[in-house]
Amino acid sequence: MTTRFIFVRHGETDSSRERRFAGATDVELSAHGREQAEHLAKRLRAVRIDVIHVSPLIRCRQTAEPITEITGRKAAIVDEIRECHFGEWEDLTIAEVAQKWPEALQSWVGDDTIPPPGGECWADLGERMQTWWDAALQRYDGRTVLAVTHGGPIMALTRRLMGIPREAMDAFLVDTGSVSVITVDNGRRRIRAWNDTTHIGEPLMDAKGHGYGSRRHA
């Protein structure tokens, strides 16, 4: 039987639009983010969803609200799928971090085992997500799990599951309000969809020939 995991990144926040480190920082959705959540709910209306897991951070809970209303499924708050904690870099822009911690930022970018000062490293995030995945895969075998989470957890888990080198993941975007799908069938993992944002007005190709990313929000 096929087990399906649908990963939703929360809708836009002011922090994501301004490209700030907001891992543990509890920021709410922007007006556009709330619109994205409504579009997500409509997109998922006809999808069979057996289980909904939601990060405890408010931006994910707000994203999940219209989904639970439209699907009738109750969400479970799951701490394991929260975003990476960026320590002293929380609520700062990349430019601000680069100015104050240039060497630490360079080390963090190049090594999964190095955390931001006072924060969590990507390796620990990946291990946390792997633990959640293994438990969910066993418990919900043959069913569909919707996880409303963050860009970091989606990327970290996908890298571990698929054995993708970190440098290759630079080509894998996870936009706000996007949907990605990974299935498992007889132990074989497949990425069935990635960073799909067509439900929020980003068509595969518009009349001017612009593809994904023409209206991207960080």
**Predicted structure pTM score:** 0.91
CATH 3.40.50.2300 assigned to domain 2-141+152-196? The reply is no
pLDDT tens digit string along 158-209? Answer: 999 999 988 888 888 999 999 999 999 999 999 999 999 999 876 555 445 4
Per-residue confidence at 23, pLDDT binned at 50, 70, 90? very high
CA 177, CA 10: separation in Å to the nearest integer?
Answer: 5
Known catalytic membership, residue 210? no
CA distance readout (Å), 15 to 20, 21, 23, 135, 166: 5, 7, 10, 31, 24
- Among 10, 53, 85, 217, the active-site one is 10
Element (H, E) at 62: helix 58-71
Percentage of the chain exceeding pLDDT 70:
92
Give the largest CA-CA distance in the chain. 51
- Among 12, 65, 80, 83, the active-site one is 83
Q: Which residues contact 101 (CB under 8 A, 6 or more apart)?
A: 88, 89, 116, 117
Known catalytic membership, residue 10? yes
CA 168, CA 39: separation in Å to the nearest integer?
Answer: 30
Per-residue confidence at 214, pLDDT binned at 50, 70, 90? very low
Per-residue confidence at 136, pLDDT binned at 50, 70, 90? very high
The stretch 61-79 carries a mean pLDDT of 96
Kindly list the domain boundaries of the chain, sorted by start residue: 2-141+152-196
Q: Do the bridges between strand 179-185 and strand 2-9 make them parallel or antiparallel, or are there none, so unpaired? A: antiparallel
The stretch 148-154 carries a mean pLDDT of 98
Element (H, E) at 8: strand 2-9
The stretch 67-85 carries a mean pLDDT of 96
Q: Which residues contact 127 (CB under 8 A, 6 or more apart)?
A: none
Number of H helices, E strands in the chain: 7, 6
